Amino acid sequence: MRSLPDWLVAEPFTDIDLGVLKSGKEAQIHVIQRSDDTGRSCIIARKRYLPREVKQKGTLEALGVQRASTFRHDVEYREGRQFRKTRDRRAVERMSTYGKRLLQDRWTGHEYEIMSRLWKAGASVPYPISYGEDTFDLEFIGDTTSAAPQLFAARLAKAELASAFDQVYQGLCVLMAEGIAHGDLSAYNLLWWQDQVWFIDLPQAVDIASNPQGLNYVHRDVVNICTWFDRKGLDVDGEEVFAQLLCEM
Ligand SMILES: Nc1ncnc2c1ncn2[C@@H]1O[C@H](COP(=O)(O)OP(=O)(O)O)[C@@H](O)[C@H]1O
Ligand SMILES: [Mg+2]
């Protein structure tokens, strides 16, 4: 069993928000300093999910395709997983006001749960600390002076690129063994820090066994990331890697 991180300051603690690290379409990442009264402190990342407005029928389209497709995306990701009650599933499929609220509510704890499963299985994911109504606290990857760069922005030498690919493959093996599809894997959702690759951004991850689209997501993820490595000069073929990965199931 993986032992709990010793850097994490336990209760009672005080959190100080040091500011926003990244602000995206779906979430904002804050850097938090957590201290206890013995003078111990640590840095954590706090992901704050941006509110998804629940709109009356008709106004969704007025907000533009972008948002409408985000909602459609949710349905696709979530079918077969969360909404076992027929009434709820129908509401989500119809995108009724009630359905949209269901999606919003289920979103937050999901990333925490997926990351917990992967962390326990030994994957290179930040340690998931806790979650609240619209926040998720997790291990901060970086140090007191800077945050880990996303893989796409890390300037990797050839040998590092090969090592990064091996690590991504190892990570995908753990995901496969756990039956989880990341669903949005790219060089933007991988971090590079001290020669190590970290998998992040998992709110859309699904169970491969219960989601009819599960394997399609794995396939898309693998092809995506392999195409990136290939463009960087590493000779990898997404279809081959996918086939190899299927053997890990
Ligand atoms: N635990 C973390 N440690 C350091 N940086 C992080 C961490 N989590 C996220 N980030 C940074 O914040 C960005 C956005 O986080 P992410 O989880 O990908 O949310 P989204 O892409 O949905 O906004 C990441 O690309 C990364 O640069
Ligand atoms: Mg992201």
Site residues for ligand 1, CB cut-off 6 Å? 21-22, 24, 26-27, 29, 45, 47, 126, 138-142, 147-148, 150, 188-189, 200-201
Token digits for 30? Answer: 């804050």
For residue 159, the model assigns a pLDDT of 97
CA angle 241, 243, 244 (to 5 degrees): 65
Token digits for 211? Answer: 């989601």
CA distance 186 to 10: 33
Q: Domain ranges in the chain?
A: 14-50+108-246
Atom 9 of ligand 1 has which residue's CA nearest to it?
A: 29
For residue 168, the model assigns a pLDDT of 98
**Tokens 């299985």 sit on residue:** 121
Protein residues with C-beta less than 5 angstroms from the ion ligand 2: 189, 201
For residue 107, the model assigns a pLDDT of 66
How far away, in angstroms, is 94 Cα from ligand 1 center? 31
For residue 17, the model assigns a pLDDT of 97
The predicted-structure confidence for 6-56, as pLDDT tens digits, reads as follows: 999 999 999 999 999 999 878 999 999 999 999 999 999 999 988 665 444
Atom 2 of ligand 1 has which residue's CA nearest to it?
A: 140
Which regions in the chain score pLDDT beneath 70? Answer: 51-84, 93, 95, 100-107
- Entry pTM: 0.85
3-state DSSP of the chain: CCCCCCCCCCCCCEEEEEEEEEECCCEEEEEEEEECCCCCEEEEEEEEECCCCCCCCCHHHHCCHHHHHHHHHHHHHHCCCCCCCHHHHHHHHHCCHHHHHHHHHHHHHHHHHHHHHHHHCCCCCCCEEEECCCEEEEECCECCCCECCEHHHCCCCHHHHHHHHHHHHHHHHHHHHHCEECCCCCCCCEEEECCEEEECCCCCCEECCCCCCHHHHHHHHHHHHHHHHHHCCCCCCHHHHHHHHHCCC
CATH fold of 14-50+108-246: Transferase(Phosphotransferase); domain 1 (1.10.510)
For residue 59, the model assigns a pLDDT of 45
